[in-house]
Structure 1
Amino acid sequence: MTTTTTAGRVARLWIYPVKSLGSTARDRVRLDVAGPEGDRVWSVVDAATGETVRGKHAPGLAAVQPTGHPDADARAVSDVLGREVRLRAAQGSAADVAAVHLVSRQAIERAAAGDVPEGCSADDPRANVLLDLADGGDERTWVGRTLRIGDAELAVTRTPKHCLGVYAEVRQPGEIAVGDAVLL
Structure 2
Amino acid sequence: MSAGTVVGISVYPVRGCAGTPLQQAEVGPAGLAGDRESAVVDLDGRVLRGKDAPGLAGVVPTGSPDLDAAAVAAVLGRPVRLEPLTGRPEGAAAVHLVSRQALDRAAAGVVPDGCGAEDPRANLLLDLPADDERTWVGRRLRLGSAVLQVTRLPKHCLGVYAEVAEPGTVTVGDEVLPA
Task: Give the TM-score normalised by the residue count of structure 2.
Answer: 0.94
Say yes or no: does 1:62 pair with 2:36.
no
Partner residue, 1:180: 174
Residues 141, 119 of structure 1: alpha-carbon distance in 2 compared, 3 angstrom cutoff:
closer
Aligned position for 2:33: 37
TM-aligned CA deviation for residue 134 of structure 1: 3.3
Q: Distance in 2 between matches of 1:49 and 1:121?
A: 32
Tell me if structure 2 keeps the 8 A contact 1:28–1:178. yes
1:171 is matched with: 165
5+ unaligned residues in a row in structure 1: which ranges?
none
Residue type at the aligned position of 1:180: D
Tell me how far apart the structure 2 counterparts of residues 143 and 91 of structure 1 sit (CA, whole Å): 27
Quick one: structure 1 residues 95 and 41, their matched pair in 2 at CA, closer, same or farther if it must change by over 3 Å? farther
Q: How does 1:32-181 map to 2 (within 5 A)?
A: 32-46=28-42, 48-94=43-89, 96-117=91-112, 118-122=114-118, 124-135=119-130, 137-181=131-175
After superposing on structure 2, the runs of 4+ consecutive aligned residues of structure 1 that deviate more than 3 Å are 92-96
Deviation at 1:54, TM superposition (A): 1.2
Normalised TM-score (structure 1): 0.92
- Deviation per CA, 1:79-134: give whole Å up to 9, x if none: 11111000000113448420000000010111122222435234x21000000013
2:19 alignment partner, one of 9, 19, 23: 23
Is there any run of 5+ residues in structure 2 with no aligned partner, and where?
none
What RMSD, in angstroms, separates the aligned Cα atoms of the two structures?
1.3
Q: Is the 1:40–1:95 Cα contact (8 Å) retained in structure 2?
A: no
Amino acid at match of 1:140: R
**Distance (whole Å) between structure 2 residues aligned to residue 22 and residue 94 of structure 1:** 18
Give me the whole-angstrom Cα distance separating, in 1, the residues matched to 2:100 and 2:12: 19
Report the count of equivalent residues. 177
